[in-house]
Amino acid sequence: MAPTEVTPETLVGQLATRAPSTTRVFARHGIDFCCGGGVPLAQACARRELAVDDVIAEIQRELETPTGDVKSWEGAPLPDLIEHILTVYHRPLDEELPRLEAMARKVVSVHGDKDPERLGAMLETVLALKGELEPHMMKEENILFPMILSGQGAMAGGPVHVMRHEHDEAGAMLRRLREVTDDYTPPDGACNTWRALWHGLAELERSLHEHIHLENNVLFPAALDS
Ligand SMILES: [Fe+2]
Ligand SMILES: [Fe+2]
């Protein structure tokens, strides 16, 4: 995509699909390009209180920088894309979600009295997100992905609808986490576990945004169209 094609009206999800390196800019500013990907850049920037012209300039700089490591999956064979989603996003979460839960419980039990309301909301949201994602990935792995792999993707409208809805819910939980963690900024004097937790949650957001983007904006449309 030529840099000149990026305007305030360009859809965030479309940009992420056509020029995946732009997702770096989105991740830097907490712009949701997966569930919220159907909105124009101007609207996504307004939601995060960012100047759209500054973000476009940053996107153009990103597009002008040669990168070898951000692959566009648009048009890729679906089995390869599914394998990539499982290896890069699903399997690491098997370990990461329990690790984040344990750290969140520890921070609340040791420091909960320092900010009871927000730390309580953080733990509640981490538990809700884990409770949502674990069965969600199981449904993808046991029902939806096998349908797509066996060539029945065009008939997967029902499961895709359910998965999209669950993605929206996960997206809302990530927004809530960002809110109650001051954009993942640890308070002065936060202990190492607290810092590691905020860092882990920021990473979770980054990887989930990519993961859900690949499913919502690349895999699902291609499968339904197959
Ligand atoms: Fe997934
Ligand atoms: Fe998913």
Q: Residue 45 C-alpha to ligand 2 middle, in angstroms?
A: 25
What CATH number does the domain located at 3-64 have? 1.10.3910
- Whole-number Å distance, alpha carbon 144 to ligand 2 midpoint, is 10
Quote the ligand 1 centre to 100 CA distance (angstroms). Answer: 18
15-29, 93-107, 154-168, 210-224: least confident range: 15-29
Residues 6+ apart with CB under 8 A from 70: 20, 21, 23, 24
Average confidence score pLDDT of the chain? 91
How far does the centroid of ligand 1 lie from the alpha carbon of residue 139, in Å?
9
pLDDT reading at 21 higher than 70: yes
Residue 4 has pLDDT above 50, yes or no: no
Assign 95 to helix, strand or coil: helix
CA 72/CA 21 separation, integer angstroms = 9
pLDDT at 1: 46
* Ligand 2 centroid to residue 125 C-alpha, Å: 18
> What's the rounded Cα separation, in Å, for the pair 61 and 3?
9
Task: Assess whether pLDDT exceeds 70 at residue 189.
Answer: yes
Q: Give the pLDDT mean for 71-80.
A: 90
Residue 14 CA from chain centroid, whole number: 15
pLDDT at 34: 77
> Is residue 178 within 8 Å of 184, Cβ to Cβ?
yes
As a whole number of angstroms, the longest Cα–Cα distance in the chain is: 54
What's the pLDDT band for 66 if we cut at 50, 70, 90? low
Residue 225 Cα to ligand 1 middle (Å): 19
194 within 8 A of 101, measured Cβ to Cβ: no
Q: What is the pLDDT of residues 156-186, one digit of tens each?
A: 999 999 999 999 999 999 999 999 999 999 9
The model's pTM is 0.83
pLDDT of 67: 60
The mean pLDDT value for 21-45 works out to 86
User: What's the whole-number mean pLDDT along residues 65-83?
Assistant: 83
